[in-house]
Amino acid sequence: MLRLGRVVAIHPEDNSVDIVMTDDGARLAGVQVLASSASTRSGLVDLPVPAQPDEGDAKWDITKVTESDVIAAVAYFDAMRMPVVVGFLYPQINQMLFAEEGRKLDRHHSDVYSTIDKDGNVEWFHPSGTYVRMAVSPEHDDLTGKDFDKKWKTDRNTDKRVSFRLAIKNSGGTKATITIDPDGNVSLVHAGNLNIETSGNAAHTAQAIVMNADTLMINANVAINSDSMTHNGVDIGRSHRHSGVDAGPDNTGVPV
């Protein structure tokens, strides 16, 4: 037999919930939730979080609709003596369901979510606005109001300043990191070689470029367009002058 109940509190430490049954108002505390995968050291942990209730007995009041109602399906095992939550039902009005076929959506209580649409466009989104996307269009797919009930909104953790880091670490320690901080600074640090190849053109635009190397070798036809050029602080550009210049085939002196 299956019964429905409304979750009023969760206990992540033992994957259980407190429930008020909708048929008779019975209060069940510490009801374990059946997991899609679970073992001593592996599994999936993600309990849906109800709206924060009032303290004490007030949490058992389910007469009001909240911004995060959680409805559980409860089955009974061990000769009907042990209730277990075997799944959850979406409330009739919610933010999660779309009329769009082929939409896969995994949304966390924090408003972080990942989505795939029927065309294979994939996106991972953080409520700060940061996202990673692999799709025909690189622009963020804003789901605000696109759900069936037009309730979808992102209003949690929108003020967080997040960083992004990709790190490669082996037994010998960290070998490479790429870091983007909240201000847009990008850092690439790595222990090995860096090779960049392109069949097209490469353009670098910056206020200043500094190169530090023991040896710098350029194999190319070089064209330099500049108002000035110096070597060890001495002007060697188009405006530089030479000392000791005499008419005739002799060499000039050093630049001044």
At 47, list the tokens.
């309990």
Domain boundaries, the chain: 2-89, 94-218
| pLDDT given at position 64 | 85
Would the pLDDT of 134 be above 80?
Answer: yes
Whose CA is closest to 89, among 27, 32, 22? 22
At 21, list the tokens.
């049954």
* Percent of the chain whose predicted confidence (pLDDT) is above 90: 78
What's the pTM? 0.86
Q: Provide the CA 137 distance to its chain's centre, in angstroms.
A: 18
Distance CA 178, CA 157 (A): 24
Q: Report phi then psi at 167, rounded to 5.
A: -130, 140
Distance CA 81, CA 1 (A): 12
Q: Determine contact, residues 165/177, Cβ cutoff 8 Å.
A: yes
**Stretch among 2-16, 117-131, 171-185, 225-239 having the lowest mean pLDDT:** 225-239
Angle, alpha carbons 140-49-145 (nearest 5°): 35
pLDDT digits (tens, 9 = 90+) for 151-177: 999 999 999 999 999 999 998 899 999
Would the pLDDT of 238 be above 80?
Answer: no
| pLDDT given at position 55 | 65
| pLDDT given at position 250 | 60
Please determine, looking at this structure, whether the domain spanning 2-89 carries the CATH number 1.10.405.
no
Whose CA is closest to 107, among 92, 117, 95? 95
| pLDDT given at position 11 | 96
